[in-house]
Amino acid sequence: MIGLYRKLYAEPVVSEGVSGEEFDDSLHRIEDSEVDELDPFSPARGPFRRRALMDRWDPLLKQVVRGDRRAFAAVKAFMWVESGGQQFAVSHTGCAGLMQFSSRTARTGFSRIFGTGQVYPCSCRGGCGVPRSIRRALESGDPERVRAQRSRFPCDLTDARFDPRKSLTAGWIFIRRLQRSHGGNIYLSYIGYNSGPAVARRLWRAIGKKGRAGLDVIAPELPRALEPFYGASAASRARSLIRVHLPKLGRAYRLYLRQANLRPPETTVVRFQPLELPKGPWRFLARLTDRKHGKARRLRISFWGDSHVAAEVLPGQLRRRMQARWGDGGPGFVLLGQPWPSYRHARVETGATEGWRAERLWGRYTHTRPRPRDDLFGVAGISVHSAKRASGPRTWMIPQGRALAAMDLYYLRQPGGGTVEVLADGRRVERLNTRERKKRPSRARIKLSAKTRRLELSIEGGEVRLFGADLESGRPGVVVDTFGINGAQASAILKWNERLLEQHLDQLAPDLLILAYGSNEVDARGLTRRTFARDFDAVLGRMRKAAPTASCLVVGPPDQARYHKRTGWKSPPRLDYIVDEQRRLARLRGCAFWDQRTAMGEGNVFSWVQQGLAQEDHLHLTARGYRQVGDALYQALIDAWKR
């Protein structure tokens, strides 16, 4: 059985009208925008983390499904959820093989495929469990490693369920039968595959025989459908299916449809949602007109928010669209010292050596989240500093795209401050001494050569505290700054040093301030409508005071849901009044408002998860989802300008 799949890699049998070469090519024809999501070394979760294990079965699977692309995607998605592409996978209940058939199902329902005397129950005491070392040895196909581990494997290696062709064939027949009985619904088919066809039939009747039903419709009815068959364990089984298996299946199915060059079903497009403009003139629209006629050399948009903004996909898409139309003014503000491991900027590759620590406000402080020494966080709400008396820590930036003309470095002069050496392509262009009697925020403007491809800051002689760097292209155009922090709430701005915030905003001179908060306030302890309105009003007042000539725009939180054991996924009740108060206070403070929740479709987050536009936590979007929201925000701005 070891390495059997190698012998089965013959010329694929395909259906009429689809050539083997065409099918092969389409399997891996992926759009450029999806390359990051399909990277086998990506830290994100999904079937692409084990792409090599999964893709090795493609030739055999094509033969089994006879060139049917949609069946190919469905069977491969089921295989990913059931075994992860491991030929010798064994579950704790004794299900075995690529498609995880139990010995009973293989003997009774699929005896013509597996044979009556070729299926053997595993000799497990209690629940089956196969150590990873044994699985790796068997999957490797190395005879020596197989002989060394064979005696430790609890199942008979000659069991027909470990035959890849038989397992995939039986799986395809079973899935096809379930899909025909349940309107082609991939989720109901998996429930029938995993928990029994009787459960799927009961659920199919309970939801009104809707073939396009999503998880939002299925989830409330699933525990009741499982109860007659699983009794007391029905609730826990339903939670496992709803929270883990079904979302995982949906993501894999959409991925394999794209690999097979098929469009995933029900692709959602963000609805057009216009800006709700304040009474009176909104200056940013006039600035867009000035930029069009060449009267304004540069437009700057500064974008604050929580993790939705920190991901840098939504602001990055807005930057891309604005700069394509109005000109590229540069990457904008970039944080230094890699303040958190996943920090990224769409236009600049950043990195740092060890020896840096970020200081910011946290809702709760621990040894890994130390309390900051003061309130000097700067315009981004976070500062990074090198270790005291340290020499050698470095941080660097590699701009992507057009050349840079200048860099404004924002830092703090302080007692015992060290020296910063600024290197451009390895050549020193500036040396800054940050030592001073009292703490004093400073800015240094450094001109760069058009050929500069790498900027590096090297620290010597003591602690250095940095707020960030503003990178300019020197050409007329738009600059979009991203000031997002994971887990942030709008009220944190009230705890930043007000004078420093005003100084930085005066130096950056933004034309539009965008505030996108609300998701973390949904789960904040002790928050009431009154306290939220009081804090958010104070935040808008402070930002308007810090940048009196700038326009402001409040972006409401996205549609989202929270999971509860009794009720399943539900929209959080606080979300309604958070959006209402943001709209009211924006109008009161002379700010525009954009309702992101309505743009997504209220209560539509379940559909977004199903279609790969939102993540399984029903809170954060995927890269494709954020790009769609970024496009919708851009369209709302342009529509307001044209009007």
The whole-number pLDDT of residue 21 equals 37
98 is a domain residue: yes
595-641 pLDDT tens trace: 999 999 887 888 888 777 888 889 999 998 999 999 999 999 999 99
377 is a domain residue: yes
266 is a domain residue: no
Whether residues 121 and 251 share a domain: the answer is yes
Whether residues 381 and 302 share a domain: the answer is no
Q: How far apart are CA 622 and CA 160, in angstroms?
A: 40
Q: Which of 212, 231, 259 is a domain's end point?
A: 259
The whole-number pLDDT of residue 265 equals 55
Whether residues 254 and 353 share a domain: the answer is no
316-341 pLDDT tens trace: 999 999 999 999 999 999 999 999 98
Whether residues 307 and 381 share a domain: the answer is no
Residue 466's domain is classified under what CATH number? 2.60.120.1360
Q: How far apart are CA 472 and CA 332, in angstroms?
A: 6
C-alpha dihedral sign at 47, 50, 51, 55? negative
Whether residues 180 and 50 share a domain: the answer is yes
75 is a domain residue: yes
Whether residues 360 and 382 share a domain: the answer is yes
The whole-number pLDDT of residue 607 equals 80
Q: Which of 453, 474, 495 is a domain's end point?
A: 474
Whether residues 230 and 319 share a domain: the answer is no
Q: Which of 215, 235, 259 is a domain's end point?
A: 259
Whether residues 181 and 239 share a domain: the answer is yes
Whether residues 457 and 575 share a domain: the answer is no
Q: Where are the alpha helices (DSSP H) in 57-152?
A: 58-65, 69-82, 103-108, 111-114, 132-140, 143-150
Residue 501's domain is classified under what CATH number? 3.40.50.1110
What is the DSSP secondary structure assignment for residue 264, as one 8-state letter?
A: P
Longest dimension (CA), the chain: 87
Whether residues 103 and 220 share a domain: the answer is yes
Q: How many domains is the chain partitioned into structurally?
A: 3
Comparing CA positions, the residue from 137, 141, 139 lying closest to residue 87 is 139
The whole-number pLDDT of residue 257 equals 86
31-88 pLDDT tens trace: 333 333 333 223 333 444 467 778 889 999 999 998 888 899 999 999 999 988 888 8
Comparing CA positions, the residue from 131, 129, 161 lying closest to residue 148 is 131
Q: How far apart are CA 284 and CA 512, in angstroms?
A: 6
What's the 3-state SS for 215-226? HHHHHHHHHHHH
Backbone φ/ψ region at 332: left (φ over 0), alpha (ψ -120 to 50), beta: left
Residue 248's domain is classified under what CATH number? 1.10.530.10
264 is a domain residue: no
Range of the domain at 221: 4-259
The three-state secondary structure class of 121 is coil
Q: 């810090």: which residue's tokens?
A: 546
Whether residues 187 and 209 share a domain: the answer is yes
106 is a domain residue: yes
Q: 């250095």: which residue's tokens?
A: 464
The whole-number pLDDT of residue 556 equals 96
Whether residues 342 and 395 share a domain: the answer is yes
Regions of the chain with pLDDT less than 50? 1-49, 266
- Beta-carbon contacts of 613 under 8 Å, excluding residues fewer than 6 positions away, are 268, 621, 622, 624, 625, 628
- Beta-carbon contacts of 184 under 8 Å, excluding residues fewer than 6 positions away, are 211
